[in-house]
Chains A and B, each alone.
Chain A
Amino acid sequence: MVTAVEAPDRLFGKAIKRREDPRLITGAGSFLDDIKLPGMTHAVLVRSPYAHARIRRIDTSAAEKMPGVLGVFTGQDFMDVNPLPAAWQAAGVKNNAVTPRVLAVNEVHQVGDPVAVVVAEDRYLARDAADAVVVEYDPLPVVVDAKKATEPGAPQLHEEAPNNIVLEWTCGKDEATVDAALEQSEVRVSSHLINQRLIPTAIEPRGSIGKYDPATDEYTLWATSQAPHVHRLLLGAFVLGVPEQKIRVISPDIGGGFGSKIFLYYDMPLVLALSKKLGGRPVKFFEDRSENYLTTTHGRDHITDIEIGATRDGKITALKVKTYANLGAYFSTVAAGIPTTLYGRMLAGCYKIPAIHCKVIAAYTNTAMVDAYRGAGRPEAAYVIERVCDLVAQATGVDPAEVRRRNFIQPEDFPYDTGVGMLPYDSGDYEKALNRALELVGYEQLRQEQKARRERGDSKLLGIGLSSYVEVCGIAPSKWIGLPGEGWGAGLWESANVRVHLTGKVVVTTGSLPHGQGHETTFAQLVADELGIPYEDVEIQHSDTLGTPFGFGTYGSRSLAVGGVAIYRSLQKIKEKAKKLAAHLLEAAEEDIVFENGKFYVKGSPDSAKTFADIALAAHVAYDLPPGMEPYLDETTYYDPPNCTFPFGTHVCVVEVDRDTGEVKLLRYVAVDDVGNVVNPLIVDGQIHGGIAQGLAQALYEGAVYNDDGQLVTGTLESYAAPKAHMVPTYELDRTVTPSPTNPLGVKGAGEAGTIAATPAVANAVIDAVSHLGITHLDMPLTPERIWNAINQAARS
Chain B
Amino acid sequence: MAETTTAPAKVAVSMTVNGKQYTAEVEPRMLLVHFLRETLGLTGTHVGCDTSSCGACVVHMNGESVKSCTVLAVQADGAEITTIEGLGQDGQLHPVQEGFWEMHGLQCGYCTPGMIMTGAALLKRNPNPTEEEIRHALEGNLCRCTGYQNIVRAIQYAADKMRG
Contact = CB atoms under 8 A, between A and B. Distances in A.
Contacts of A590: none
Interface in A484-526: 515-518
Interface stretch (A18-26, A532-540, A594-602, A784-792): A18-26
B50 A27 contact: no
Nearest to B44: A27
A380 interface: no
A36 interface: yes
A67 B7 contact: yes
Q: How large is the interface on A (under 10, 10 to 19, 20 to 34, 35 or more residues)?
A: 35 or more
B2 A132 contact: yes
B107 A517 contact: yes
Contacts of B32: none
A691 to B, nearest CB: 8
B116 A25 contact: yes
B136 interface: yes
Q: From A258, A289, A685, A690, name the one whose CB has the most chain B CB atoms within 10 angstroms.
A: A690
B78 to A, nearest CB: 23
A203 interface: yes
Nearest to A688: B147
A690 B147 contact: yes
A690 B150 CA distance: 10
Nearest to A25: B97
Contacts of A22: 101
Given A61-B1, A204-B110, A725 B51 contact: no
B74 interface: no
B21 interface: no
A162 interface: no
Contacts of A471: none
B121 interface: no
B138 interface: yes
Interface in B103-128: 104, 106-113, 116
Contact of A203 (B29, B142, B148): B142
Interface string A717-731: 110001011101011
A447 interface: no
B60 interface: no
Contacts of B109: 20-21, 23-25, 29, 253, 255, 516
Nearest to B99: A25
Interface string A251-266: 0011110100000000
Given A18-B104, A26-B44, A725-B134, A202 B144 contact: yes
Given A26-B97, A690-B147, A731-B149, A203 B110 contact: yes
B160 interface: no
Interface in B20-49: 27, 29-30, 34, 37-38, 41-49
A90 B145 CA distance: 31
A201 interface: yes
Given A24-B109, A726-B136, 20 more contacts: A25-B100, A27-B42, A27-B43, A28-B85, A31-B46, A203-B142, A255-B48, A255-B109, A255-B111, A256-B108, A288-B50, A289-B49, A290-B50, A686-B145, A717-B142, A722-B144, A724-B135, A724-B139, A730-B149, A731-B149
Shortest 6 CB-CB contacts between residues of A and residues of B:
A27-B44, A255-B110, A24-B109, A516-B108, A693-B147, A717-B53
23 contacts: A24-B106, A24-B112, A25-B109, A25-B113, A26-B44, A26-B93, A31-B43, A31-B46, A65-B2, A65-B3, A66-B2, A134-B1, A203-B144, A203-B145, A253-B108, A255-B48, A255-B110, A690-B144, A717-B51, A725-B139, A725-B151, A726-B138, A730-B149
